[in-house]
Structure 1
Amino acid sequence: MTHSGSYSCKVKTGNWFEDVLCEDAKKKERGELVAQKVDFLKENILRPVNLTVTVDGRLHFGNVVMLVNMGGEKRECSAVSINADINSVRRSPSPGIQAPCEVSAGKGIQACVRTAFIITSVDGSPEGSTLHFEQSFALKTTSGFAGGLYLTSDMKRLEKCAKKSRLQEVTLDDSGSFMSWWKIVHFEPQERLEYEGQPVPANVRVLIKHCKTNQALAVLGQHVIWTPYDNEYELTAHTFLNSCRGEEDNNHWILCTSRSEGKELVILNHPQPAAHDEELTQANPDI
Protein backbone atom coordinates (compact mmCIF):
# COMPACT_ATOMS: atom_id res chain seq x y z
CA MET A 1 0.00 0.00 0.00
CA THR A 2 1.31 3.42 -0.93
CA HIS A 3 1.36 5.99 1.85
CA SER A 4 1.44 9.68 1.01
CA GLY A 5 4.46 11.43 2.47
CA SER A 6 6.42 8.23 3.08
CA TYR A 7 9.38 9.64 1.17
CA SER A 8 10.97 13.07 0.99
CA CYS A 9 10.97 15.01 -2.27
CA LYS A 10 14.68 14.16 -2.70
CA VAL A 11 13.76 10.54 -3.39
CA LYS A 12 11.74 11.67 -6.44
CA THR A 13 8.92 9.22 -5.98
CA GLY A 14 5.22 9.91 -5.89
CA ASN A 15 4.30 13.62 -6.16
CA TRP A 16 7.89 14.74 -5.62
CA PHE A 17 7.73 17.65 -8.08
CA GLU A 18 4.66 19.11 -6.40
CA ASP A 19 6.42 18.74 -3.04
CA VAL A 20 9.41 20.69 -4.36
CA LEU A 21 7.20 23.50 -5.61
CA CYS A 22 5.35 23.57 -2.29
CA GLU A 23 8.60 23.76 -0.31
CA ASP A 24 9.94 26.54 -2.59
CA ALA A 25 6.71 28.47 -2.12
CA LYS A 26 7.08 28.25 1.65
CA LYS A 27 10.71 29.40 1.45
CA LYS A 28 9.70 32.28 -0.78
CA GLU A 29 7.09 33.41 1.76
CA ARG A 30 9.77 33.39 4.45
CA GLY A 31 12.33 35.12 2.18
CA GLU A 32 14.69 32.14 2.36
CA LEU A 33 15.35 31.55 -1.33
CA VAL A 34 19.00 32.15 -2.31
CA ALA A 35 18.01 34.76 -4.90
CA GLN A 36 15.98 36.62 -2.27
CA LYS A 37 18.89 36.57 0.18
CA VAL A 38 21.27 37.92 -2.47
CA ASP A 39 18.83 40.70 -3.40
CA PHE A 40 18.35 41.58 0.27
CA LEU A 41 22.12 41.74 0.82
CA LYS A 42 22.80 43.92 -2.22
CA GLU A 43 19.85 46.19 -1.54
CA ASN A 44 21.22 47.02 1.89
CA ILE A 45 24.99 46.93 1.40
CA LEU A 46 24.98 48.97 -1.83
CA ARG A 47 22.77 51.69 -0.37
CA PRO A 48 24.38 55.13 -0.98
CA VAL A 49 26.20 56.85 1.90
CA ASN A 50 27.11 60.52 2.12
CA LEU A 51 30.82 60.98 2.71
CA THR A 52 32.06 63.83 4.86
CA VAL A 53 32.58 67.20 3.21
CA THR A 54 35.90 68.57 4.50
CA VAL A 55 35.77 72.33 4.98
CA ASP A 56 39.41 72.83 5.98
CA GLY A 57 40.87 70.08 3.76
CA ARG A 58 41.92 67.98 6.76
CA LEU A 59 40.76 64.66 8.17
CA HIS A 60 38.93 64.62 11.49
CA PHE A 61 37.70 61.97 13.90
CA GLY A 62 34.15 61.08 12.96
CA ASN A 63 34.70 61.71 9.23
CA VAL A 64 33.06 59.21 6.88
CA VAL A 65 35.55 58.38 4.12
CA MET A 66 36.40 55.86 1.41
CA LEU A 67 39.82 54.20 1.27
CA VAL A 68 40.82 54.32 -2.38
CA ASN A 69 43.89 52.99 -4.19
CA MET A 70 44.34 54.69 -7.55
CA GLY A 71 45.66 51.53 -9.21
CA GLY A 72 48.89 50.70 -10.97
CA GLU A 73 50.34 48.37 -13.56
CA LYS A 74 47.66 45.82 -14.46
CA ARG A 75 45.56 47.00 -11.51
CA GLU A 76 42.48 49.19 -11.67
CA CYS A 77 41.42 51.84 -9.19
CA SER A 78 39.80 50.12 -6.19
CA ALA A 79 38.37 50.81 -2.73
CA VAL A 80 38.42 48.88 0.53
CA SER A 81 35.06 47.09 0.60
CA ILE A 82 33.06 44.80 2.86
CA ASN A 83 33.13 41.37 1.22
CA ALA A 84 29.94 39.98 2.71
CA ASP A 85 27.94 37.10 1.25
CA ILE A 86 24.54 35.76 2.28
CA ASN A 87 26.16 33.71 5.06
CA SER A 88 27.56 36.91 6.59
CA VAL A 89 24.10 38.40 7.19
CA ARG A 90 22.26 37.97 10.48
CA ARG A 91 18.48 38.33 10.62
CA SER A 92 18.02 39.00 14.33
CA PRO A 93 17.84 41.01 16.47
CA SER A 94 18.12 43.33 13.44
CA PRO A 95 19.39 42.61 9.90
CA GLY A 96 23.08 43.30 9.45
CA ILE A 97 26.60 42.05 8.78
CA GLN A 98 28.01 39.80 11.49
CA ALA A 99 31.65 39.45 12.52
CA PRO A 100 34.06 38.21 11.46
CA CYS A 101 33.64 39.36 7.88
CA GLU A 102 36.04 39.45 4.94
CA VAL A 103 37.18 42.55 3.06
CA SER A 104 38.42 43.04 -0.47
CA ALA A 105 39.43 45.84 -2.83
CA GLY A 106 36.42 46.45 -5.04
CA LYS A 107 36.57 48.19 -8.40
CA GLY A 108 33.20 49.89 -7.90
CA ILE A 109 34.22 53.36 -6.71
CA GLN A 110 30.94 54.52 -5.22
CA ALA A 111 30.16 55.75 -1.75
CA CYS A 112 27.85 53.16 -0.21
CA VAL A 113 27.44 51.09 2.96
CA ARG A 114 29.98 48.62 1.58
CA THR A 115 32.78 51.16 1.07
CA ALA A 116 32.22 53.79 3.79
CA PHE A 117 34.43 53.84 6.89
CA ILE A 118 34.40 56.14 9.91
CA ILE A 119 37.67 57.52 11.32
CA THR A 120 37.31 56.54 14.98
CA SER A 121 39.33 57.69 18.00
CA VAL A 122 41.20 55.14 20.13
CA ASP A 123 43.16 57.56 22.34
CA GLY A 124 40.37 59.70 23.73
CA SER A 125 40.53 62.38 21.04
CA PRO A 126 37.10 64.04 20.81
CA GLU A 127 35.00 63.65 17.68
CA GLY A 128 35.67 66.50 15.29
CA SER A 129 39.29 66.95 16.33
CA THR A 130 42.00 66.75 13.68
CA LEU A 131 43.76 63.49 12.84
CA HIS A 132 47.56 63.77 12.77
CA PHE A 133 50.29 61.78 11.06
CA GLU A 134 51.44 58.80 13.19
CA GLN A 135 48.40 59.13 15.49
CA SER A 136 46.59 55.89 16.26
CA PHE A 137 42.98 55.55 15.12
CA ALA A 138 40.48 52.90 14.01
CA LEU A 139 38.49 52.46 10.81
CA LYS A 140 34.92 51.46 11.53
CA THR A 141 32.08 50.55 9.21
CA THR A 142 28.90 52.57 9.50
CA SER A 143 26.26 51.60 12.05
CA GLY A 144 23.08 49.79 11.07
CA PHE A 145 23.38 47.12 8.39
CA ALA A 146 27.20 47.36 8.22
CA GLY A 147 27.33 46.48 11.92
CA GLY A 148 29.90 49.04 13.10
CA LEU A 149 32.77 46.58 12.57
CA TYR A 150 36.47 47.45 12.84
CA LEU A 151 39.11 46.93 10.15
CA THR A 152 41.41 44.49 11.92
CA SER A 153 44.65 42.61 11.31
CA ASP A 154 47.15 40.52 13.24
CA MET A 155 50.47 38.82 12.69
CA LYS A 156 50.48 36.15 9.99
CA ARG A 157 50.14 32.60 11.24
CA LEU A 158 49.94 29.28 9.47
CA GLU A 159 46.25 28.92 10.24
CA LYS A 160 45.37 32.61 9.85
CA CYS A 161 46.54 34.46 6.75
CA ALA A 162 45.25 35.85 3.47
CA LYS A 163 43.74 33.05 1.39
CA LYS A 164 45.59 33.56 -1.90
CA SER A 165 48.80 35.47 -1.14
CA ARG A 166 49.28 33.87 2.31
CA LEU A 167 50.29 37.30 3.60
CA GLN A 168 48.94 39.05 6.70
CA GLU A 169 45.15 38.88 6.74
CA VAL A 170 42.83 41.90 7.02
CA THR A 171 39.25 41.35 8.19
CA LEU A 172 36.36 43.08 9.93
CA ASP A 173 35.79 42.34 13.60
CA ASP A 174 33.62 43.73 16.38
CA SER A 175 36.17 43.70 19.22
CA GLY A 176 37.75 47.12 18.70
CA SER A 177 41.01 45.82 20.22
CA PHE A 178 44.60 46.93 19.61
CA MET A 179 44.56 44.78 16.46
CA SER A 180 42.21 47.37 14.93
CA TRP A 181 44.57 50.33 15.47
CA TRP A 182 46.09 52.02 12.41
CA LYS A 183 48.12 55.14 11.74
CA ILE A 184 48.66 57.45 8.75
CA VAL A 185 52.21 57.80 7.42
CA HIS A 186 53.44 60.21 4.75
CA PHE A 187 53.94 58.28 1.51
CA GLU A 188 57.38 59.82 0.89
CA PRO A 189 59.98 58.22 3.24
CA GLN A 190 62.26 61.29 3.28
CA GLU A 191 59.38 63.51 4.44
CA ARG A 192 58.04 61.40 7.30
CA LEU A 193 60.03 62.92 10.14
CA GLU A 194 59.06 66.42 9.03
CA TYR A 195 55.34 65.60 8.82
CA GLU A 196 55.08 63.55 12.03
CA GLY A 197 52.44 65.12 14.27
CA GLN A 198 51.11 67.40 11.52
CA PRO A 199 47.42 67.34 10.46
CA VAL A 200 46.55 64.75 7.83
CA PRO A 201 45.07 66.28 4.65
CA ALA A 202 42.14 64.60 2.94
CA ASN A 203 42.26 63.31 -0.63
CA VAL A 204 46.04 62.91 -0.98
CA ARG A 205 48.22 59.80 -1.11
CA VAL A 206 49.27 58.36 2.24
CA LEU A 207 50.21 55.02 3.79
CA ILE A 208 47.92 53.30 6.28
CA LYS A 209 50.04 51.23 8.66
CA HIS A 210 48.91 48.66 11.19
CA CYS A 211 50.07 49.75 14.65
CA LYS A 212 50.82 46.29 16.04
CA THR A 213 52.68 44.79 13.07
CA ASN A 214 53.81 47.99 11.28
CA GLN A 215 52.69 46.47 7.98
CA ALA A 216 51.03 48.78 5.45
CA LEU A 217 47.57 48.18 4.04
CA ALA A 218 47.98 46.83 0.50
CA VAL A 219 45.94 45.81 -2.52
CA LEU A 220 47.19 42.86 -4.57
CA GLY A 221 46.41 43.16 -8.27
CA GLN A 222 47.83 39.74 -9.08
CA HIS A 223 45.44 38.00 -6.68
CA VAL A 224 41.86 38.27 -7.94
CA ILE A 225 39.03 36.86 -5.84
CA TRP A 226 35.40 36.24 -6.73
CA THR A 227 32.79 38.10 -4.70
CA PRO A 228 29.01 38.47 -5.08
CA TYR A 229 29.70 41.96 -6.46
CA ASP A 230 32.41 41.32 -9.07
CA ASN A 231 35.92 39.95 -9.43
CA GLU A 232 37.96 42.00 -6.96
CA TYR A 233 41.48 42.22 -5.55
CA GLU A 234 42.75 40.63 -2.38
CA LEU A 235 43.45 43.02 0.48
CA THR A 236 46.27 42.41 2.94
CA ALA A 237 48.62 44.13 5.37
CA HIS A 238 52.07 43.94 3.83
CA THR A 239 54.67 46.59 2.99
CA PHE A 240 55.96 46.37 -0.58
CA LEU A 241 59.30 48.17 -1.02
CA ASN A 242 60.96 49.20 -4.26
CA SER A 243 64.70 49.39 -4.95
CA CYS A 244 64.86 52.84 -3.31
CA ARG A 245 63.28 51.51 -0.09
CA GLY A 246 60.09 53.40 -0.79
CA GLU A 247 56.65 51.78 -0.68
CA GLU A 248 55.10 50.61 -3.93
CA ASP A 249 51.78 52.01 -5.16
CA ASN A 250 50.08 48.89 -3.75
CA ASN A 251 50.44 50.65 -0.39
CA HIS A 252 49.29 54.12 -1.51
CA TRP A 253 45.82 55.11 -0.32
CA ILE A 254 43.59 58.16 -0.49
CA LEU A 255 41.14 58.78 2.33
CA CYS A 256 38.50 60.21 0.08
CA THR A 257 35.81 62.73 1.00
CA SER A 258 33.01 64.42 -0.92
CA ARG A 259 32.97 67.75 -2.73
CA SER A 260 31.29 70.65 -0.94
CA GLU A 261 29.18 71.50 -4.01
CA GLY A 262 27.78 67.99 -4.39
CA LYS A 263 28.19 64.28 -3.77
CA GLU A 264 30.96 63.82 -6.31
CA LEU A 265 34.14 62.29 -4.92
CA VAL A 266 37.15 64.59 -4.83
CA ILE A 267 39.42 61.94 -6.37
CA LEU A 268 37.30 61.73 -9.50
CA ASN A 269 39.65 64.44 -10.79
CA HIS A 270 42.38 61.75 -10.56
CA PRO A 271 45.18 64.10 -9.39
CA GLN A 272 48.57 63.22 -10.79
CA PRO A 273 51.36 62.17 -8.38
CA ALA A 274 53.48 65.14 -9.44
CA ALA A 275 50.82 67.51 -8.11
CA HIS A 276 50.76 65.85 -4.70
CA ASP A 277 53.13 68.22 -2.91
CA GLU A 278 51.24 71.28 -4.16
CA GLU A 279 47.92 69.80 -3.00
CA LEU A 280 49.40 68.96 0.39
CA THR A 281 50.63 72.53 0.86
CA GLN A 282 47.26 73.98 -0.14
CA ALA A 283 45.42 71.66 2.23
CA ASN A 284 47.84 72.45 5.09
CA PRO A 285 49.09 76.04 4.84
CA ASP A 286 50.72 75.71 8.27
CA ILE A 287 53.07 72.90 7.13
Structure 2
Amino acid sequence: MAAYSPGVRLGNWEEEAALEEERLRDFMRKRERGELLIQKINKLEENLLKKVKLSVSKDGFVHFGDTVMLLNPDNKSSVEKYPGVCGSLTLAINLGEISVYSAKSLQAPCGVSAVESVGPVGRNTFCILSVGGGAVDEPIRFGQNFGLGTTGGFSDQMLYLASDHKSFVRFAKKSYLQQVFLTDELSYLTCWQATFLDPQLRLEYEGFPVPANSKMIITHCHTNRSLAIPRNFWTRSYFGKEYEVVCHTYLDSHKAEEDKNYWVIVTGNPSDEDSTMIDRPNPHPGGIRKNEFCEET
Protein backbone atom coordinates (compact mmCIF):
# COMPACT_ATOMS: atom_id res chain seq x y z
CA MET A 1 0.00 0.00 0.00
CA ALA A 2 1.34 3.42 -0.99
CA ALA A 3 1.98 5.89 1.80
CA TYR A 4 0.94 9.55 1.41
CA SER A 5 3.00 12.36 2.90
CA PRO A 6 1.85 15.97 3.47
CA GLY A 7 3.56 16.97 0.23
CA VAL A 8 1.35 14.76 -1.93
CA ARG A 9 -1.31 16.72 -3.90
CA LEU A 10 -4.80 15.24 -4.08
CA GLY A 11 -7.87 16.00 -6.15
CA ASN A 12 -8.13 18.86 -8.66
CA TRP A 13 -5.23 20.74 -7.14
CA GLU A 14 -4.11 22.31 -10.41
CA GLU A 15 -7.58 23.71 -11.21
CA GLU A 16 -7.95 25.06 -7.66
CA ALA A 17 -4.56 26.77 -7.83
CA ALA A 18 -5.43 28.35 -11.20
CA LEU A 19 -8.79 29.52 -9.84
CA GLU A 20 -7.10 31.08 -6.80
CA GLU A 21 -4.63 32.92 -9.04
CA GLU A 22 -7.49 34.24 -11.19
CA ARG A 23 -9.36 35.46 -8.10
CA LEU A 24 -6.21 37.28 -6.96
CA ARG A 25 -5.74 38.91 -10.38
CA ASP A 26 -9.40 39.98 -10.42
CA PHE A 27 -9.02 41.48 -6.94
CA MET A 28 -5.93 43.44 -8.00
CA ARG A 29 -7.67 44.78 -11.13
CA LYS A 30 -10.71 45.94 -9.16
CA ARG A 31 -8.52 47.56 -6.53
CA GLU A 32 -6.58 49.51 -9.15
CA ARG A 33 -9.84 50.73 -10.72
CA GLY A 34 -11.46 51.55 -7.35
CA GLU A 35 -14.21 48.99 -7.95
CA LEU A 36 -13.98 47.10 -4.65
CA LEU A 37 -17.14 47.38 -2.55
CA ILE A 38 -15.29 48.93 0.40
CA GLN A 39 -13.71 51.51 -1.95
CA LYS A 40 -17.14 52.41 -3.37
CA ILE A 41 -18.63 52.84 0.10
CA ASN A 42 -15.70 54.95 1.31
CA LYS A 43 -15.94 57.17 -1.77
CA LEU A 44 -19.68 57.65 -1.31
CA GLU A 45 -19.28 58.42 2.39
CA GLU A 46 -16.45 60.84 1.63
CA ASN A 47 -18.66 62.81 -0.76
CA LEU A 48 -21.76 62.77 1.43
CA LEU A 49 -19.82 64.07 4.42
CA LYS A 50 -17.73 66.59 2.50
CA LYS A 51 -18.08 70.11 3.93
CA VAL A 52 -20.05 72.49 1.72
CA LYS A 53 -19.93 76.28 1.77
CA LEU A 54 -23.39 77.81 1.86
CA SER A 55 -24.31 80.88 -0.18
CA VAL A 56 -24.22 84.20 1.67
CA SER A 57 -27.32 86.37 1.28
CA LYS A 58 -26.27 90.00 0.84
CA ASP A 59 -29.82 91.36 0.88
CA GLY A 60 -31.37 88.93 3.37
CA PHE A 61 -33.40 87.02 0.76
CA VAL A 62 -33.20 83.57 -0.86
CA HIS A 63 -32.14 83.53 -4.54
CA PHE A 64 -32.20 81.11 -7.43
CA GLY A 65 -28.85 79.35 -7.54
CA ASP A 66 -28.21 79.62 -3.79
CA THR A 67 -26.73 76.66 -1.91
CA VAL A 68 -28.68 76.30 1.33
CA MET A 69 -29.83 73.92 4.05
CA LEU A 70 -33.47 73.16 4.88
CA LEU A 71 -33.86 73.18 8.65
CA ASN A 72 -36.81 72.19 10.81
CA PRO A 73 -36.13 74.34 13.90
CA ASP A 74 -36.08 73.15 17.47
CA ASN A 75 -39.39 73.82 19.22
CA LYS A 76 -40.87 73.41 22.65
CA SER A 77 -43.96 71.44 21.63
CA SER A 78 -41.87 68.73 19.96
CA VAL A 79 -39.75 68.36 23.08
CA GLU A 80 -42.85 68.03 25.25
CA LYS A 81 -44.45 65.42 22.95
CA TYR A 82 -41.27 63.54 22.02
CA PRO A 83 -38.69 63.97 24.82
CA GLY A 84 -36.06 61.98 22.94
CA VAL A 85 -36.13 64.35 19.97
CA CYS A 86 -34.35 67.53 20.86
CA GLY A 87 -32.74 70.04 18.56
CA SER A 88 -33.02 71.25 15.02
CA LEU A 89 -33.20 68.75 12.15
CA THR A 90 -31.98 69.21 8.58
CA LEU A 91 -33.26 67.57 5.41
CA ALA A 92 -30.73 65.07 4.04
CA ILE A 93 -30.13 62.20 1.64
CA ASN A 94 -31.00 58.87 3.22
CA LEU A 95 -28.13 56.50 2.52
CA GLY A 96 -30.27 53.55 3.56
CA GLU A 97 -32.10 53.81 0.25
CA ILE A 98 -28.93 53.56 -1.83
CA SER A 99 -27.65 50.26 -3.21
CA VAL A 100 -24.07 49.96 -1.98
CA TYR A 101 -23.26 47.61 -4.83
CA SER A 102 -23.47 50.55 -7.27
CA ALA A 103 -22.25 53.16 -4.82
CA LYS A 104 -19.96 55.15 -7.12
CA SER A 105 -22.74 57.75 -7.33
CA LEU A 106 -26.25 58.42 -6.04
CA GLN A 107 -28.95 56.20 -7.46
CA ALA A 108 -32.45 57.48 -8.23
CA PRO A 109 -35.01 57.21 -6.83
CA CYS A 110 -33.38 57.93 -3.50
CA GLY A 111 -34.87 58.47 -0.05
CA VAL A 112 -34.64 61.52 2.21
CA SER A 113 -34.66 61.81 5.97
CA ALA A 114 -34.02 64.37 8.70
CA VAL A 115 -30.75 64.35 10.64
CA GLU A 116 -29.74 66.02 13.89
CA SER A 117 -26.49 67.36 12.45
CA VAL A 118 -26.88 70.96 11.31
CA GLY A 119 -23.45 71.40 9.74
CA PRO A 120 -23.54 71.87 5.94
CA VAL A 121 -22.18 68.77 4.19
CA GLY A 122 -22.84 67.08 0.87
CA ARG A 123 -25.86 65.11 1.99
CA ASN A 124 -27.88 67.95 3.60
CA THR A 125 -27.27 70.90 1.29
CA PHE A 126 -29.58 71.89 -1.57
CA CYS A 127 -29.49 74.24 -4.52
CA ILE A 128 -32.49 76.50 -5.21
CA LEU A 129 -33.47 75.86 -8.84
CA SER A 130 -35.56 77.90 -11.25
CA VAL A 131 -38.42 75.96 -12.86
CA GLY A 132 -40.34 78.92 -14.29
CA GLY A 133 -37.71 80.99 -16.04
CA GLY A 134 -36.35 82.90 -13.06
CA ALA A 135 -32.76 84.09 -13.47
CA VAL A 136 -29.90 83.03 -11.24
CA ASP A 137 -29.36 85.45 -8.31
CA GLU A 138 -32.94 86.67 -8.63
CA PRO A 139 -34.89 86.41 -5.33
CA ILE A 140 -37.56 83.74 -5.15
CA ARG A 141 -40.97 84.99 -4.07
CA PHE A 142 -43.82 83.68 -1.97
CA GLY A 143 -46.12 81.67 -4.25
CA GLN A 144 -43.45 81.19 -6.93
CA ASN A 145 -42.45 77.69 -8.05
CA PHE A 146 -38.89 76.52 -7.47
CA GLY A 147 -36.96 73.27 -7.34
CA LEU A 148 -34.58 71.82 -4.78
CA GLY A 149 -31.57 69.93 -6.10
CA THR A 150 -28.91 68.06 -4.18
CA THR A 151 -25.54 66.81 -5.39
CA GLY A 152 -24.61 64.77 -2.33
CA GLY A 153 -21.08 66.06 -2.75
CA PHE A 154 -20.80 64.81 -6.35
CA SER A 155 -20.10 67.58 -8.86
CA ASP A 156 -21.33 65.71 -11.93
CA GLN A 157 -24.87 64.80 -10.90
CA MET A 158 -27.95 66.27 -9.24
CA LEU A 159 -31.10 64.76 -7.78
CA TYR A 160 -34.31 66.72 -7.21
CA LEU A 161 -36.63 66.74 -4.20
CA ALA A 162 -40.02 65.36 -5.22
CA SER A 163 -43.29 63.99 -3.92
CA ASP A 164 -46.46 62.42 -5.31
CA HIS A 165 -49.91 61.40 -4.16
CA LYS A 166 -50.04 58.45 -1.79
CA SER A 167 -51.08 55.15 -3.35
CA PHE A 168 -51.25 51.47 -2.40
CA VAL A 169 -47.63 50.99 -3.43
CA ARG A 170 -46.18 54.46 -2.78
CA PHE A 171 -46.22 55.84 0.77
CA ALA A 172 -43.90 56.69 3.66
CA LYS A 173 -42.73 53.48 5.33
CA LYS A 174 -43.36 54.44 8.96
CA SER A 175 -46.26 56.91 8.98
CA TYR A 176 -47.98 55.73 5.74
CA LEU A 177 -48.34 59.37 4.74
CA GLN A 178 -47.32 61.00 1.45
CA GLN A 179 -43.77 60.04 0.53
CA VAL A 180 -40.90 62.46 -0.17
CA PHE A 181 -38.02 61.26 -2.32
CA LEU A 182 -35.23 62.31 -4.70
CA THR A 183 -35.46 61.77 -8.45
CA ASP A 184 -33.18 62.49 -11.41
CA GLU A 185 -35.92 64.04 -13.58
CA LEU A 186 -37.33 67.56 -13.31
CA SER A 187 -41.13 67.52 -13.59
CA TYR A 188 -44.29 68.82 -11.93
CA LEU A 189 -43.48 66.44 -9.06
CA THR A 190 -40.35 68.45 -8.21
CA CYS A 191 -42.02 71.89 -7.91
CA TRP A 192 -42.30 73.59 -4.51
CA GLN A 193 -43.46 76.96 -3.15
CA ALA A 194 -42.61 79.02 -0.08
CA THR A 195 -45.66 80.08 1.92
CA PHE A 196 -45.72 82.86 4.50
CA LEU A 197 -45.94 81.50 8.05
CA ASP A 198 -48.98 83.50 9.25
CA PRO A 199 -52.14 82.34 7.41
CA GLN A 200 -53.84 85.72 7.95
CA LEU A 201 -51.06 87.59 6.11
CA ARG A 202 -50.43 85.22 3.20
CA LEU A 203 -52.39 87.18 0.62
CA GLU A 204 -50.56 90.38 1.57
CA TYR A 205 -47.14 88.72 1.24
CA GLU A 206 -47.88 86.91 -2.03
CA GLY A 207 -45.18 87.91 -4.52
CA PHE A 208 -42.80 89.35 -1.91
CA PRO A 209 -39.19 88.04 -1.78
CA VAL A 210 -38.64 85.10 0.55
CA PRO A 211 -36.39 86.05 3.51
CA ALA A 212 -33.52 83.74 4.37
CA ASN A 213 -33.11 82.25 7.86
CA SER A 214 -36.79 82.83 8.76
CA LYS A 215 -39.57 80.36 9.45
CA MET A 216 -41.90 79.53 6.57
CA ILE A 217 -44.00 76.74 5.10
CA ILE A 218 -42.74 74.79 2.07
CA THR A 219 -45.61 73.41 0.00
CA HIS A 220 -45.58 70.79 -2.74
CA CYS A 221 -47.27 72.34 -5.78
CA HIS A 222 -48.78 69.20 -7.31
CA THR A 223 -50.41 67.81 -4.15
CA ASN A 224 -50.78 71.07 -2.14
CA ARG A 225 -49.39 69.36 0.95
CA SER A 226 -46.63 70.82 3.10
CA LEU A 227 -43.19 69.38 3.78
CA ALA A 228 -43.08 68.08 7.35
CA ILE A 229 -41.12 66.10 9.95
CA PRO A 230 -43.53 64.31 12.34
CA ARG A 231 -40.57 63.58 14.67
CA ASN A 232 -42.21 60.45 16.11
CA PHE A 233 -41.13 58.18 13.25
CA TRP A 234 -37.49 57.26 12.84
CA THR A 235 -35.29 54.66 11.16
CA ARG A 236 -31.72 53.37 11.36
CA SER A 237 -29.55 54.33 8.41
CA TYR A 238 -25.88 53.93 7.53
CA PHE A 239 -25.19 57.02 9.69
CA GLY A 240 -27.42 56.13 12.62
CA LYS A 241 -30.84 57.31 13.80
CA GLU A 242 -32.72 59.53 11.35
CA TYR A 243 -36.28 60.85 11.19
CA GLU A 244 -38.92 60.35 8.53
CA VAL A 245 -39.81 63.25 6.22
CA VAL A 246 -43.29 63.41 4.64
CA CYS A 247 -45.64 65.72 2.80
CA HIS A 248 -48.54 66.34 5.14
CA THR A 249 -50.15 69.53 6.42
CA TYR A 250 -50.56 69.47 10.20
CA LEU A 251 -53.18 72.01 11.31
CA ASP A 252 -53.95 73.18 14.83
CA SER A 253 -57.34 74.27 16.20
CA HIS A 254 -56.92 77.68 14.54
CA LYS A 255 -56.36 76.12 11.08
CA ALA A 256 -52.71 77.19 11.15
CA GLU A 257 -49.80 74.86 10.39
CA GLU A 258 -48.08 73.25 13.36
CA ASP A 259 -44.33 73.44 13.97
CA LYS A 260 -43.86 70.09 12.21
CA ASN A 261 -44.35 72.10 8.99
CA TYR A 262 -41.96 74.94 9.91
CA TRP A 263 -38.84 75.31 7.80
CA VAL A 264 -35.91 77.69 7.68
CA ILE A 265 -33.83 78.13 4.52
CA VAL A 266 -30.37 78.52 6.05
CA THR A 267 -27.63 80.54 4.32
CA GLY A 268 -23.94 81.06 5.08
CA ASN A 269 -22.45 83.33 7.72
CA PRO A 270 -20.76 86.31 6.02
CA SER A 271 -18.33 86.74 8.91
CA ASP A 272 -17.24 83.09 8.97
CA GLU A 273 -17.30 80.99 5.80
CA ASP A 274 -17.22 77.74 7.78
CA SER A 275 -20.43 78.45 9.71
CA THR A 276 -24.06 79.29 9.00
CA MET A 277 -26.42 82.05 10.06
CA ILE A 278 -27.93 79.82 12.75
CA ASP A 279 -24.49 79.64 14.37
CA ARG A 280 -24.28 83.40 14.91
CA PRO A 281 -24.63 84.68 18.49
CA ASN A 282 -28.15 85.63 19.57
CA PRO A 283 -28.46 89.43 19.26
CA HIS A 284 -31.22 89.38 21.91
CA PRO A 285 -29.71 87.99 25.11
CA GLY A 286 -33.11 87.80 26.77
CA GLY A 287 -34.56 85.71 23.93
CA ILE A 288 -34.54 81.98 23.39
CA ARG A 289 -31.10 80.59 22.70
CA LYS A 290 -30.48 77.85 20.22
CA ASN A 291 -31.08 74.44 21.86
CA GLU A 292 -32.35 76.16 25.03
CA PHE A 293 -35.12 73.59 25.33
CA CYS A 294 -32.50 70.84 25.21
CA GLU A 295 -30.58 72.48 28.04
CA GLU A 296 -33.70 72.70 30.19
CA THR A 297 -34.48 69.04 29.71
Q: TM-score range by the shorter chain?
A: 0.7 to 0.9
- Match of residue 251 from structure 1: 261
Q: Helix, strand or coil for the counterpart of 2:128? A: strand
Deviation per residue, 1:93-121 (Å, 9 max, x gap): xx421211111101111111111111111
- Match of residue 212 from structure 2: 202
What is the number of equivalent residue pairs in this alignment? 265
- Match of residue 260 from structure 1: 270
- Match of residue 92 from structure 2: 81
> Per-residue deviation at 1:275?
7.8
Q: Which of these residues, 143, 162, 167, is aligned with residue 134 of structure 1?
A: 143
Q: Helix, strand or coil for the counterpart of 1:129? A: coil
CA distance in 2, matches of 1:238, 1:275: 30
Deviation per residue, 1:47-85 (Å, 9 max, x gap): 111110000001111111100011332333111101135
CA distance in 1, matches of 2:25, 2:14: 13
Work out whether residues 41 and 89 of structure 1, in 8 Å CA contact, stay in contact via their aligned partners in 2: no
**What is the correspondence of 1:87-102 to structure 2 with a 5 Å cutoff?**
87=99, 90=102, 95-102=104-111
**What is the correspondence of 1:161-200 to structure 2 with a 5 Å cutoff?**
161-200=171-210
The aligned amino acid for 2:12 is H
Q: Which of these residues, 156, 159, 163, is aligned with residue 166 of structure 2?
A: 156
- Match of residue 59 from structure 1: 62
TM-score (norm 2): 0.80
> Per-residue deviation at 1:35?
3.7
CA distance in 2, matches of 1:5, 1:79: 58
> Per-residue deviation at 1:197?
0.9
Q: Helix, strand or coil for the counterpart of 2:166? A: coil
The aligned amino acid for 1:87 is S
- Match of residue 118 from structure 1: 127
> Per-residue deviation at 1:245?
1.3
- Match of residue 292 from structure 2: none
Q: Helix, strand or coil for the counterpart of 1:97? A: coil
The aligned amino acid for 2:48 is I
- Match of residue 10 from structure 1: none
The aligned amino acid for 1:82 is I
> Per-residue deviation at 1:39?
1.8
- Match of residue 39 from structure 1: 42
Distance 1:56 1:5, change over 3 A: farther
**Which stretch of the first structure deviates more once superposed, 132-141 or 30-39?**
30-39
CA-based RMSD of the aligned residues comes to: 3.0
Give the structure with higher Rg (CA).
Answer: 2
- Match of residue 281 from structure 1: none
Distance 1:126 1:143, change over 3 A: farther
Deviation per residue, 1:142-161 (Å, 9 max, x gap): 38717211100000011001
Work out whether residues 178 and 212 of structure 1, in 8 Å CA contact, stay in contact via their aligned partners in 2: yes
Work out whether residues 88 and 101 of structure 1, in 8 Å CA contact, stay in contact via their aligned partners in 2: no
The aligned amino acid for 2:65 is G
Work out whether residues 56 and 268 of structure 2, in 8 Å CA contact, stay in contact via their aligned partners in 1: yes
Work out whether residues 184 and 209 of structure 1, in 8 Å CA contact, stay in contact via their aligned partners in 2: yes
Work out whether residues 64 and 119 of structure 1, in 8 Å CA contact, stay in contact via their aligned partners in 2: yes
Distance 1:64 1:256, change over 3 A: same
Work out whether residues 62 and 119 of structure 1, in 8 Å CA contact, stay in contact via their aligned partners in 2: yes
Distance 1:2 1:206, change over 3 A: same
Deviation per residue, 1:163-200 (Å, 9 max, x gap): 11111011110110000000000111112111111110
Residue segments in structure 1 that go unaligned for 5+ positions in a row: 8-13, 277-287
